Amino acid sequence: MDDRPGLLIRDPFQFSDAILIIPPPLIGVLQLFDGQRSMLEMKEILYRATNELQSGEVLTHLFETLSKVGFLEDEQFAAMREARYREFRESPSRFPSHAGSAYPDTASELSATMERYFTGAGDVPARDGIMGIAAPHVSPEGGWESYRDAYRMIPEMPNDDRVFVILGTSHYGAPERFGLTRKPYLTPFGAARTETALVDFLEQRAPGSVVMEDYCHAVEHSIEFQVAFLQSVRGPDVRVLPILCGPFARSINQGGTPEEDSNVRRFLDALGEMNAREGKRLFWVLGVDMAHQGARYGDDFEARAGQGQMTVAESRDRARIEQIIQAAASGFWDLVQQDHDDLKWCGSSPFYTFLKAVPEARGELRRYQQWNIDEASVVSFAGMVFRR
């Protein structure tokens, strides 16, 4: 903001709805709030650094402001967090958190948007044997072609007993855990019915692996976007099994396979058992993005889609995609682990989960894209289909 430069802080968990802009002179002061220093010690450090008597008053004001809006780890934050957890637990439904921002918040406007996305796509290719798709979870306006090329490949089939298992990236979830909910997923189109019997099955088979009524569902977009697209092509009352996949951080950082963690292993086994038991009743949907490169994501270069560093990223993305196509879970994960996943594929855990739980799947790439989410940062993603 040209008229108010500084560091903008917001809470992606939405425990707090406040947005603060910290003026440049105070940005460095935030490092003092590390939980190791008393206010008196912090004031002494700031006075020695500035030689200003008023620095103590400035620090007190900053402390009070941060605490009031829930941006310090203190009793105020704990109370706000618990209130939001309780609100989600007690809610009868999972309400749309991105309608009106990432996509329209009325059924008529959303229908018109979806029609625009799907118009002019040409003839639908053969859809024989398709049992799953992978689509982005990037903003639909940025990735609509990949969304379209995946969702138009869902075969015509009765909705009566069909369950769409949605594996979404959990951007804020616990590592080596999977987030479940029994709540119906609402969008402007209506309520998608969550298949609670399958939720119960997974919770019983892998209790330590599951975060039940995971609050991350309340704020996560990776499944919400898939539900909206599913409803647009299959009707509002689709049956879904929404599963948030936390990052497999231990494996990426320390080596070994994800299932060397007992929680991951139990859940993959349970999901594989469910796939074997339910068979063709299940249709799999992956809400996944791929590389995240550039300034926004901590890299020391400005990323441009299809240029410079992103041509190298595309080559590496496609190598991983080829392993997914061949259902080579171990080969895919070997590539993810290189340099501790410096490509920052946020979709790596849903992809790996799918490959291990549904080993009979064979993939096909329908479209690969890169998109500048801002002028210095790029996200890559794809539309894919899977056949038995």
Which amino acid is located at 13 in the chain?
F
Q: What are the pLDDT digits (tens) for 191-237?
A: 999 999 999 999 999 999 999 999 999 999 999 999 999 999 999 99
Structure tokens that stand for 66 in this block? 């941060």
Q: What are the pLDDT digits (tens) for 68-81?
A: 999 999 999 999 99
Q: Using the predicted structure, report yes or no on whether residue 347 has a pLDDT greater than 80.
A: yes
Structure tokens that stand for 222 in this block? 């990776």
CA–CA separation, 369 vs 212, rounded Å?
Answer: 34
pLDDT band at 126 (very low <50, low <70, confident <90, very high): confident
CA angle 164, 146, 318 (to 5 degrees): 100
Contact predicate 286/354, CB 8 Å = yes
Contact predicate 282/354, CB 8 Å = no
Phi then psi for residue 120, to 5 deg, are 80, 20
Average pLDDT over residues 348-370: 97
Q: What are the pLDDT digits (tens) for 249-267?
A: 999 999 999 999 999 999 9
CA of residue 297 relative to chain centroid, distance: 15
pLDDT band at 48 (very low <50, low <70, confident <90, very high): confident
CA–CA separation, 112 vs 291, rounded Å?
Answer: 30
* Spans of all domains in the chain: 7-87, 94-387
Beta carbons within 8 Å of 224's beta carbon, 6+ residues apart: 96, 97, 98, 185, 187
Structure confidence at residue 49 (pLDDT): 76
pLDDT band at 4 (very low <50, low <70, confident <90, very high): confident
Q: What is the DSSP letter of 99?
A: B
User: What is the assigned CATH class of domain 94-387?
Assistant: alpha beta
Percent of the chain with pLDDT over 90: 86
Structure confidence at residue 47 (pLDDT): 81
pLDDT band at 1 (very low <50, low <70, confident <90, very high): confident
Structure confidence at residue 26 (pLDDT): 87
Structure tokens that stand for 54 in this block? 């008023």
Comparison of pLDDT for 125 and 96, the residue scoring more:
96
Q: What are the pLDDT digits (tens) for 298-343?
A: 999 999 999 999 999 999 999 999 999 999 999 999 999 999 999 9
Q: What are the pLDDT digits (tens) for 269-305?
A: 999 999 999 989 999 999 999 999 999 999 999 999 9
Contact predicate 219/12, CB 8 Å = yes
